[in-house]
Amino acid sequence: MLPTGSLLALAAPVVALLLFGSFSCNIVADESHLQDPDTEGATQDDFDGDVDSVPDTSPDSAQDPPPFHPADLEGLSLSFDADHDESVMRSSDGLVHSWRDLSGDDNHAYQAVDRHMPIYRADGQAGRAVLDFDGSYLTTSDVLQLRATGQGYTIFAVASNTVEDGDGRGGILLGNYRRPHSNFSIELHNDRKLRHWWDRRQEFGDPADENRGDAIFDVPRPDPDTFAILTFFLDASQQTVGAAVNGEFADSLPDDGFQYEVQRPLRIGADYREQNLPTAWQGSMAELLVYNRLLDASEMEEVHHHLSQKWEIPLTD
């Protein structure tokens, strides 16, 4: 019996599916080559990664190098930082009896007499702690060899001074002493100029002008009560000494090539008041760095920028 019309109508879709199903699938498969240009060549893993992905936050050392620290440079022999939690040891009333060396050499500076102890001030510069000196001084526990015949040296100090113009010497930042004279010191001298001084005698007796070295640098002086980055250095190969204020360098001066050396502990904020000589540092100190070699220009620039950012002291353009 031939199928009725209704049966033919029901059978038509089945026949069409059997006859054209594979062809239709081929059409869909052929359309797969029509890709979005932005995703051409992408794999399924690429798309899976786009779902709920987390940005890569790992540091790129080429674009984000680690911050510079003065200890990164070779030759750091003394490092005193008034704002470092582990550096300043003080009494309950703020008198500092020891300033600990952070260079790794543990050449700490001490003071046993209360009246000669500097005072800790928590909010001194850029919200950081500083030490106030006024007839105060601290002495390192060990001798630090700083030789004119070796690799020279480089010294950085972040400090302020209260002496007004015309008031004479502003005091010694750092020196090595044997009464009544020193054979090495860096200081703020008359008219607030930076001074590098040395005594060339083998024996320490009455002073003789021909046995002294004296370099006073012509560089813009720091204003009273204003923190500045003070730099002193010795170039042993050129037999010269140099200085800078906030990164601005004075012309280097000869040091006569004398083969002097520091053979005694260093004194920070040297006090000569017991002998009525006004050479004590009058002001504050925030940080002190001593390298037992001459840093090159790029290294000095790195230290200057580090100290400038840390203590919020603008460098001279």
Cα-based distances in Å from 234 to 196, 241, 263: 10, 4, 17
Q: Three-class SS of residue 130? A: strand
Cα-based distances in Å from 73 to 29, 291, 298, 300, 312: 65, 9, 11, 10, 22
Determine contact, residues 73/291, Cβ cutoff 8 Å. yes
Is the pTM value of this prediction over 0.85?
A: no
Determine contact, residues 289/156, Cβ cutoff 8 Å. yes
Distance of CA 50 to the CA centre of its chain: 43
Domains of the chain: 70-311 (2.60.120.200)
Mean pLDDT of successive 10-residue stretches along the chain, which has 317 residues: 44 43 38 36 39 40 75 96 95 96 96 94 96 91 76 94 71 75 78 80 50 82 89 91 95 76 81 61 95 96 97 93
Which pLDDT does position 182 carry in this prediction? 59
Residue type present at position 192: R
Phi, then psi, of 13 in degrees rounded to 5: -65, -35
